[in-house]
Amino acid sequence: MKFKLGTIDWLAPFFPSYQRVYSWELFLPLIPGANADLVSTRALEVRFGEYSISNLFEMVYGGYRYKYVYEANVPDCTITFVEKEDRAVAGYFLKWQRLIMDENGLFREKNKYAKSMIFTFNATSGEETFCIRLDGVFPTKMPEYRGTYRESGALLLDVTLNVDRISHENVGGITHRILGKAKGLILQGISRVLRRF
């Protein structure tokens, strides 16, 4: 069923639409000497999951077998980037790799290279609907380069990241929607006033 709200379009936020898979933003961690904001905008696809039960402990009681959770973990995160001639994506992850291992091949302390990353889903209006925070993130599989004469598309780079913890916050509640709509109406009003001058 489709609601036709007419002139009372301020009620629209209370009738949520489908979450679109293309409406999202990625915020990569800051790496010294690299432009994290620029590389974040070149992410083409992001894939990660919630906590999964990886191991079960079994116990037999009488004639019955019971299973208990033994271990839960967060799957790796895979990101596909589109690379440009400035090699910003490859340079970013090479600098991150240097935080993991020094020039002698010795690994550094984890607090030097494990970072936090933010992923948000947005509404069709551009308003943030919920935010997912990934902690303990670092690259485990660096980009692989591919050259071919069979096609002429852009160079795509896949990176796999370890994730230790995941947490998310729903920011699409009623209070958030009301405040967001009020902010939009205020900005609309200011814009209309400025047009008169």
Question: Which has more pLDDT, 157 or 10?
Answer: 157
pTM score: 0.72
Tell me if 182 is assigned to some domain.
Answer: no
The pLDDT tens digits for 85-135 are 999 999 999 999 999 998 888 999 999 999 999 998 887 777 777 888 999
Residue 59 has pLDDT above 50, yes or no: yes
CATH number at residue 61: 2.30.110
Q: Which long-range contacts (CB under 8 A, 24 or more apart) does 172-176 make?
A: 172/16, 172/123, 172/127, 172/128, 172/129, 172/130, 174/14
Tell me if 96 is assigned to some domain.
Answer: yes
The pLDDT tens digits for 60-86 are 888 888 888 878 888 899 999 999 999
Where residue 138 falls among pLDDT bands split at 50, 70, 90?
Answer: very high
Tell me if 10 is assigned to some domain.
Answer: no
Q: What's the number of domains the chain is made of?
A: 1
| Residue 162 structural domain | 20-171
* Percentage of the chain lying above the pLDDT 90 cut: 42
CB atoms within 10 A of CB 98: 15
